[in-house]
Structure 1
Amino acid sequence: MGTYNRRSTSTGSSVDEDLYKIGAVAKRTGISPECLRAWERRYGLQPAERAGKTRFYSASQVQRLLNVKTLLDQGHPISQLLRLDDDELQRRLRPQPIRSPAHRPRTGLVGGQLILAHREACRDLVTGDVGLDIVAEWTSAAELKADRGALPQLDCLVVYVPTLDTQHIEGIQEVCPDTRVVVAFRYATATDLDECRQSGRAILRWPAEWQTLVRRVRASTSPDPTSSRRYSDEELVHISLMASRAGCECPRHLAELIGEINDFETHTHRCGGRHGAVDGDHARAEKRLGGARAQLEESLSVFVETHGLLAAAN
């Protein structure tokens, strides 16, 4: 049956408590035995008892795993959840204020390096929520070009190239002229780097963390940086005041940096629009400011969600 009753502890005290084999735990929680073993190796999730190679989990551990699974399905990272005590898990299970959905660009990947990184991200994040809507993959630029005329609608195309070659990139851009292209490269000359930066080309040195790629894609495809602010001015002030909950001043410093970017972005918009429509230089500056803000907001959100810095404001 997979369920047993323990009547004494390692200290000799008498206790009645059901114990469950790993297979029974998997059936009750929906977490596979392979995943439980991996969490034990990576995060120290130890069973209550062992008998040889057989693992036994207590009823309280099973309940904790059920809570963890619920939060995993909501998108919380396992590396954070397994560090939380039971009270904090229960707090996170309570209904939270509804926020607008994150920007999830429809994205295509070109190159085996990126496809492998996507697979690893799906496996490591357990939930499979990788932060982007990956709708197509091509192992090479030649394979992409062969599909010309039958490409899916994309917001962004991420292309891996061993060496940054602007002519090669322009050839890829011609295949999908209305799609934003982000280039992940391993090697580059100073000349090619300067040319990409001057032309506003979105580039990313590879290898990089998957979340770094996600932030670069989101920043590159955000249609209006000004309107996509994650936190209002009032929320930034509240976060600064509640920063002591995190045990350090990092949330306050991040909130102040974001506020300064917001102020400068407003100035840039007014400066560039003195003669009507915002000119190209200022428009590009606004877009870069929006990307910088998005990355800082992503860092700040870790503190906000972990320590409930907006709980009293909502």
Structure 2
Amino acid sequence: MAEQLYKIGKVSELTGLSVERLRMWEQRHEIRPTKKVNRIRFYDDDQLAKLTLIKELIDQGFSIGELKDLSVNELKPLLGRPTKINQDSELSIVLVGDTWNFENRQSSSRYDVSARFLTLESYWDWATVEALVNFDALVLLVTSLNVEKIDEMTSASDVPVFVVYKYASESDLELARESSFHVVKMQDTDWQSTVDAIFDHVVQEDDSYTEYRCFDDEQLEHLRRCKTNERVEPEDFVEIIYRQRAMIDHLSRTTDSAVDIAVVEAVKTAENSMERALQSIADKHQLLV
């Protein structure tokens, strides 16, 4: 009997996950389709079952980082399991370090603190045991910016790491720039600014940029082969759009400052303009009927 395969659009329809989110998970979390043929993604029954469970669990409060490496049999027992302490909160944070004087607990009711630890070592012991505890970001308050230690001690959790430090050498800062951490000097920030940065990052990470996209992969592949005798053919637009999307995905993974966010938004705007131009040509020549 032939293997049942589903195109990404059908998987989106069956699971409730957007095409954009499925593509983003493939790039960021290695949740890959069974195969690709000319850029068209195909998923099998096992992947469909796993993605369906993941969607239910994310709606329940889990993060993709907690679920991506689990099998279907490991995902099923998590259904119905409580996650965040405060279900009204939009964000759940774990704090490490002597944060009591730094944190302003009245600054926002939109987040909750899932756990607190005085040292990285105590956090590591907890994170390696409580691997399925759901939280959105890790905030470290450290005296000295030891990037190698932070990298080692935070590897158990697949969440953004925000480091507020007192002292650092130039070599420490160079290592930090090469890492995925969000690093800021204590004298240059406060608790509210840290929370705002976390919200900006997590919202950007979780929200796909569907509003910037007029076409899915299948439509682009169809338009690529259409000829119009215009000075610029649909194929030319499609190639540029693919490159812009790849740039957006790359920049979104490394965004950690207001300047980076502005660059991402500028590229998104350019990609949106290119898709609108292609939409005009498609409408004019009735290429998608």
TM-score by length of 1: 0.39
Larger Rg, first or second structure (1 or 2): 1
Larger relative contact order, structure 1 or 2 (CA cutoff 8 Å, min sep 6): 2
